[in-house]
Structure 1
Amino acid sequence: MKIKEAVNRIESTSKSIFAWEHEGYIHISWNTFTILVVPYEAKTMFDCHFVNPKLELPADVKARISGIIGKLLRTPIRERFPEKKYRLRWIDSNDGRDDEFIGPETYLGRSEDNGVLYWTTFQKFGAEIFTESELNQLKKDNPRLAPAIDAMKEEVKDDDND
């Protein structure tokens, strides 16, 4: 289970439960009182910090939150984080003139026409998005292009993604 998924599922357990991510931790509160802090890299419940242990939660809410946290803890730490995504930034053209407007950002991606796959350029929001593992496979399949792929890699931010 990914961290964002855990936060969303915890929040959906009750209208009085709030969960958020902050500086490497998942914070969980009940009626504005923080009750539990779960480190992103926690391996067992002993790694979690019970902030208000005397605060009584309804049994069903407690069981649901416990189940969600248990599933998160059983997920290997590497798999809890979303895989980074990238676009391959291409050269922006201004025809060698420094004083003129540079056109929109362009990105390299694949397209298909009549069953034939080829590489072409796209503007930012039409560009293909690659995961880290997809780029590693591309570099493995085309070792001569590996330095160029590394040079073109531009991370896609969450708010930047379609």
Structure 2
Amino acid sequence: MVEMKIDEFVRKANRNSEIGADDNDGVISIFADTGDLLIDVPVDATNFLEVNWYNVKPVNYFSKHTREYLSALIDEFLQTPIDERFPEKKYRLVANPNSLEETGTYASRYVACIEDSMDSFSFVYGGPTIFSEKDLKQIEESHPNIAPAIEAMKERVNNE
């Protein structure tokens, strides 16, 4: 299955010296190295008909290699299921948000890991560990009784 996340599309487009790309408000904008806006690809587009091609001739802006590269990049992105395009959410688990006031230290503030065995689990406190949404879902499915606790402790991590 083809899979390309939005940030990966932007990163790959920006590797090419003739173009640049930005992700803004649900649209990936592609610019020529001159700064001219050429193409807008909505992040929820499913085919080339939904891509906004500005009134330009790509042949005037790009080499044949870049046109082929960009076309293949857009095609791969459009083939990716929409729900797979978005970056995976990441979280820290804040066990004791008032740990500094209560104990004078942050040592018990975060869950560093969740130890899981056949018949039990335990939260190990320590430094802030980043958990993916997928990992937390697996833990919640294995131990549904702690799902409310995990949901209550989630603190979204951005750009790490």
* TM-score range for the pair, normalised by the shorter chain length: 0.7 to 0.9
AA in 2 matched with 1:83: E
1:33/1:52 contact within 8 Å kept: no
Change (3 A) 1:148 1:111: closer
| Correspondence for 1:32 | 35
| Correspondence for 2:102 | 95
How far, CA to CA, are the matches of 1:10 and 1:40 in structure 2?
15
Matched, 1:73 2:74: no
Q: CA deviation at 1:53?
A: 2.8
TM-score, normalised to structure 2's length?
0.82
Percent of aligned positions that are identical:
34
TM-score, normalised to structure 1's length?
0.81
| Correspondence for 1:2 | 5
AA in 2 matched with 1:28: I
After superposing the two structures, state which structure 1 stretch, 133-142 or 23-32, moved more.
133-142
Q: Given the alignment, which residue of 44, 60, 69 partners 1:64?
A: 69
**Partner of 2:102: helix, strand, or coil?**
coil
How far, CA to CA, are the matches of 1:146 and 1:119 in structure 2?
13
What 5-or-longer segments of structure 2 have no aligned partner?
116-120
Deviations 1:48-90 (A, max 9, x none): 0001333523221111100111111111111111110011101
CA RMSD of aligned residues (A): 2.1
| Correspondence for 1:49 | 52
AA in 1 matched with 2:39: L
Q: Which runs of 4+ in 1 moved over 4 A?
A: none
| Correspondence for 2:113 | 110
